[in-house]
Structure 1
Amino acid sequence: MQRSKLPYFFLALSAVLAISAVALLFIRPGSPAVVQQPTPAVPEAPPEPPKKPELPPAVPNLGAMPEPEKPEDVFKNLGVGVEEVDPSELVARIAKAIEAGDLATAAKLIGKDALDPKTLERLKNLATAQAIKLRQPGGVREVGELELNALARWALELDGPEAGRDRIFLDLRRNKGVWSVEKITLPPAANEPIPKAILADSLGTADAFLQAVLKQDFEFARAFVDPATVSDAKIAGLCILFEEGGYRLRASKPLRAMFQRKDTVGYLANVETTDAAQSAQFAISLRQPPAPSNWLVSEINLDQLLADYARRVAGGDVYYSPLVKNPQGGDTLALYFEFDEDEINPRTRRQLEIVTMILKSDPGKKITLSGHTDSLGTDGYNRSLSSRRADVVRDYLVSAGVSEAQIITLGKGASQPRRPNVTESGEDDPEGRRANRRTEIYLDF
């Protein structure tokens, strides 16, 4: 009996269905049992660079600010000016701008309190008339104080051919620890006369006087003093002290305010040697006569300066001084000699060069030369020696171009000692005798 194949058919169909069900289970999306191959990454396009933000209009750098056509344009935008803790830094920045012809920068640094359209116009004309260059070295100079630690003056020394038109002055005011420009003074225009002093105040007069002394310009220095109280000998003596002592005005605070009254002021002049190794000082007072007169130097106290000079130049002998008191009043120049000698030494020669310059500037000026000795020797010998000491000075001046008619000579012997020739115990005093061997120059003008 043949077996039916139907069961085998259904069994095979069941197996196929089971396998299909299992296969569908494995290939269903999201099934964790399926390990899919990663899809190759598509390279991304590089990001676009960020766009630069639009900036407001650029603010010009002060050092490169173009000059407007009209000073009035600058004045409209001026502020109160720049403040600095260090006044020298502010003045240096102003000097740099002016030298570069940069009117706008200079104006912004100075500020509206010190400037007006007229001054700006003059500053522009000054810059365009010629290329402004500062003197080298020393183009920026501190003049001194008008008020102690509160109001100071600085000068921009221009490299110009004509004295009196070669300085710009800046007055700086200190407020809450910082300095700003309070006033600017420009030199006179080419068609304006040069005044005796650019600034007619007391500090301007004192500075002009000392600058003349530094240049050994006796006549110009003399124009700033009261002749009733300041002798020509004191001016000449100050010239000699500056020259022989090698002094110059100190760079920092050369003139310091001591006192201020309505018509009298006092300054302390600070000086130093040319190598800045030593410093000294002296006092200078000024008074203002009734208007319209300018301030005049009325007193010069050289005690501290003479003491420093004696220590450095005269071996510590305060009596060995180029400036002595005249028995008849006033000051007299003194030239010294070695024992029993009537020869001019190099130091004396330099002093006489200054006297020669004074006498040659005005043939109407006359001097009296009086020779002196110490007490050693007979009266007759000392009178002869003192006469020779006066004569040798006269001969030097004449050989230098001074008219003999301007000179009177006297021999005083040992009759007018400056110091005692002996000590209190009656012993010989070499230092005292040293100060007595001299020729005094009395300026009769």
Structure 2
Amino acid sequence: MTFLRLIPAAFGLLLLALPARAAVDIQTVTSPGGITAWLVQEDDIPFTALEIRFRGGSSLDPAGKEGAVNLMTALIEEGAGDMDAQAFAAARDSLAASFRFSSDIDTIAISAQFLTENRDQAIDLLHQALISPRFDPDAIERVRAQVLAGLRADEKDPSSIAAHIFDGQAFPGHPYANDGGGTLDTVPALTRDDLLAAHKAALARDRLYVAAAGDITPQALGALLDKLFADLPATGPALPDRVTPAITGGITVQEFPGPQSTLRFGHAGIKRDDPDFFAATILNEVLGGGRFSARLMTEVREKRGLTYGIGTSLVGYDRSELVLGQTAVANERVGEAVQVIRDEWARIARDGITEEELAATKTYLTGAYPLRFDGNGPLATIMVNMQLIGLPPDYPKTRNEKVEAVTMEDVKRVAASLFKPEDLRFVIVGQPQGVTPSE
């Protein structure tokens, strides 16, 4: 896909997937110019990872200009200042530095990694990319062609089709209804002036979040921040309003040839800062988490052989939330799969989970992830995402306690309020049998 719509789901997982390294010492650094960043100083290896986020992402695309932020972000590294794309790449490679630029519906993400000995030169180069991308005509057309190829592929991908339909039903009239990569109508019409406007709107200091991990002192980081982000606009345009998903219970069918159908299903979710989010995450793990012991995996795959895989997640956008699931099922058995999913949704809402499921899920959530978050790059990513979510710097030291504090009473109460089988909307792309579309 040209644009990742599932990035926000990672935020929900992050809340219960932080490192078990309770000794992580996160420092808050404020630069002389007033820019704040989080730092884990690790002097053992002469290397630093820097993670930068600008809140807003493709949700800032003006009407009729969908895809502008996505295309702009993909072009940032295609030449800057007096360097064209090849010269910029050569300068970066000569420093053994790594830069990555991406966007999603809520953020622009920039990842930089560099050696201590080349820090100043790497930051100078990244600064040029941030403040003076060239947007050369040949680069625009080359990257535009790549985006359009991705959009054409999405038109033939059942998962992308299902996501587009579901989002359109959940968020009518809101930027979240759009594919951040744009459309086959809007992307060809984007001009260089549109990209310049997107750059000015999206990369503003009032929506900046920064985290660093590695061989850098607080003083050096503070100086780096002022140098790197100098000359960016102080403020950007207003962010979109919050939106309550308008999804209603029922079934939507989009015809698509093939032997199986793709199912996307869900309804409104829970805010990331809700006190009950930990209980909700435990419930989601029991119902549709990634393990084979999850109820939907057991009932839909293991007992009935209806699919190779099925899962659910708590999706947290900046401005809305969903409980969302997806699977693929042979056309002739779609009706059976829909009924099993509805039954399991109703069962967890009515009965909650067992003591055994609660204990096993706590053990899994408190102990399964440490190795995934080892190293400067992962640490910097975790810290910047913590800031976006609104978590405090000491969260890694208290996270396990919050998981363990969830009680059976908590999960039963939250199950009854969160899971609403009557609100469950299925978007089915394929030639399903045994279901009746309803709007």
Task: Confirm or deny a common fold (TM above 0.5).
Answer: no
- TM-score norm. by structure 1 comes to 0.23
Larger RCO, structure (CA 8 Å, separation 6 or more): 2
Larger Rg: 1
Considering fraction of residues, name the structure with more helix.
2
